[in-house]
Chains A and B, each alone.
Chain A
């Protein structure tokens, strides 16, 4: 399976993240699944004219390839000209290259939230960059390729959202396609592969016990649940971050900071400061989406009253001060 990769208005972080793929060497793993890069801007040998020749052959249909991976937002400005990002050495807008190449690709993957929905570039007040995603303009279907776009392989743009995206999400999507193919039923309503977007970040969070008892962190670096005070969106963000480790054993929550829901469209402008939880009458407004509010409030009050001292005290410091008690052996001599 041949993969052509382009970068536009992004930070290159999804490629850097991809290179962290574990446990096997990325290139070996891809090779063994029969996946090869026709060209990748950060990794390929071919440069300058040679690289442009490959791109032109792909865009004109002369050189067949399977997957177009695009990383970074589509910059349509200024005034629809696409001049905020021209292809180096060629002077044509990247938006034009992407449109041509998407017409030839069997499948189109948006790598990262910038490409899926527009990212921070689309969040500058007034969006002077005229930035958008491949098939979404933030939450709204549309984007560069249009809401109705389907690639030759019959799928909409596959949105491997995340800022950056996890290496496993890319590698598994490519391998799934290469080994088994992909169908609409493999994607959620936003085009994200279900194998990672079918979970919530909250699942498997090491702070789940604190969440149960609403034992909340009060300040940065505390061990408690980050939902009540520090802006955690883990109960609403679709991703398996706490089930699938980042960099060996990490995740945002394991790193001590809140999930900002980087796999969701519009995460860049939550309408409040990232590391604060907006509340009404002391109750966070961003409650878990599939739970009635009254129940949440009642349960929270109940569990707060039942919080063990260990959990309550550990929640507001950055290292464990209370160990779980060891049950005394009864009746022995």
Chain B
């Protein structure tokens, strides 16, 4: 048995290190470490409740809007206020813009460059892949950055700026869209649609949304030009459809009123009950205690704790690990293509990528509909009164999965604030019962160490990790 430490894993958001125990070049055990601690939950204690809207976006520069939406939802819950119809549409649009930009960034800038590595120089697809996807220098980066920046102009209108907007409020949004801006938003969406249809998919978004099985997907991709078909060819060659599976238990908080909340395992979907979530700190450098529900959670540093190996807590649902993300969202929503992929081969590297890209194809048309439904001249923000005592929960979906904020207010100040970020679920360490986290499970049995192909990189990045969220 040998032990190696892999890191830094760059091209993820934040810091990540993985310790591996190897037997004959194969992974027998993996320990996932986030070697950074920030402690935002403590910053929030004692502040005015609405200050959370300025503070929580700074947890994460890649999903700052998801953080602010979770805070706004928790505050709205505490205030008993409901966003106006325009406010709700604006919030869906702001969140979807961030999430879709995120899927795009992840695919082009973080995930695909690994296939351009010299390790694959003998594969027939390598020359074209290296030309298109080499980090920074590839032809894709040159095209994707302007497409991404243009798409994020939606944020200029809807949210003032991105990242770190204060536009999302408990009652809706601070930014009323005018009739003229509504047209601009549609034009921006059409521009982005055209980029996706031309370069990513090589087909109409609606056609991608209709793909309903693995056979359908592969037949569609066969011989087609486009970056998604190119990925499917690579995935087939490297067997990514079976690599990187965790426990295939999925969880989603539900998103945009389009994808419902729930959990899924072994073919069965169940209703989601937030009361069944606990967080375990056994193997984190945090004071250990009984696993607690986040509404009663604590985050107290214990930097010298023996046996601990990360700053990340271990969230569990009904005592079990669950995977979150686009794949989880789609499986819970009963998406036929993703259900087929998972039931056939498991929740693999390929399934995770397909889920994200199909979500792009499903969301852009939905966003066009939301823009059309905006009613210029009607209110974008409902007003409410912050109670002196109360509590609230905000459950939203960031691009990379389920994000929850739990808040208690006492004497007009934040008394407790606990957060579970998506990567906390996926990159969780072992818990008191020694149950491995999803990534720790997904790495088992893979080849690693000298001379091994960069498979671990694909598995790690297939989860689209965000370590700065994890260690908030």
Contact = CB atoms under 8 A, between A and B. Distances in A.
Contacts of A16: 61-62, 163
A53 B46 CA distance: 44
A17 B61 contact: yes
A323 B48 CA distance: 38
A27 B134 CA distance: 13
Given A43-B109, A45-B136, A88-B35, 19 more contacts: A12-B14, A16-B61, A22-B150, A25-B143, A43-B10, A45-B134, A47-B10, A81-B303, A88-B15, A89-B17, A163-B58, A249-B156, A252-B160, A256-B173, A257-B160, A257-B165, A274-B54, A319-B176, A319-B377
A83 B15 CA distance: 13
Residue picked from A16, A52, A88, A120, most chain B C-beta under 10 Å: A88
Q: Sort A-B residue pairs by CB-CB distance and give the 4 closest, nearest first.
A: A255-B160, A13-B61, A89-B7, A256-B174
Main secondary structure of the interface of A (DSSP, over half): loop
Contacts of B339: none
Interface stretch (B203-211, B351-359, B379-387): B379-387
Contacts of B116: 45
Contacts of B451: none
A255 B159 contact: yes
Nearest to B165: A255
18 contacts: A21-B145, A23-B146, A43-B10, A43-B136, A48-B6, A48-B7, A84-B303, A87-B35, A88-B9, A89-B17, A164-B163, A221-B169, A252-B161, A257-B165, A318-B176, A318-B379, A318-B380, A319-B178
B373 interface: no
Interface stretch (A121-129, A139-147, A151-159): A121-129
Contact of B174 (A19, A81, A255): A255
A118 to B, nearest CB: 12
Interface in A229-276: 245-258, 260, 262, 268, 273-276
A177 B135 CA distance: 25
Interface in B40-87: 40, 42-43, 45-48, 50-51, 53-55, 58-62, 64
B157 interface: yes
A13 B63 CA distance: 9
Residue picked from A12, A25, A219, A251, most chain B C-beta under 10 Å: A12
A90 B33 CA distance: 12
Given A88-B17, A245-B156, A46 B10 contact: yes
B171 interface: yes
Nearest to B460: A47
Contacts of A124: 39, 42-43
B167 A256 contact: yes
B7 A10 contact: no
Interface in A256-304: 256-258, 260, 262, 268, 273-276
Contact of A220 (B17, B171, B303): B171
A119 interface: yes
Interface of A: 7-17, 19-28, 37, 39-48, 51-52, 75, 78, 81, 83-91, 119-121, 123-125, 128-129, 163-164, 219-221, 245-258, 260, 262, 268, 273-276, 318-319
B51 A274 contact: yes
Contacts of B137: 27
Interface string B168-197: 010111111010000000000000000000
Contacts of A120: 40, 43, 55, 58
B149 A22 contact: yes
Interface in B1-56: 5-17, 33, 35-40, 42-43, 45-48, 50-51, 53-55
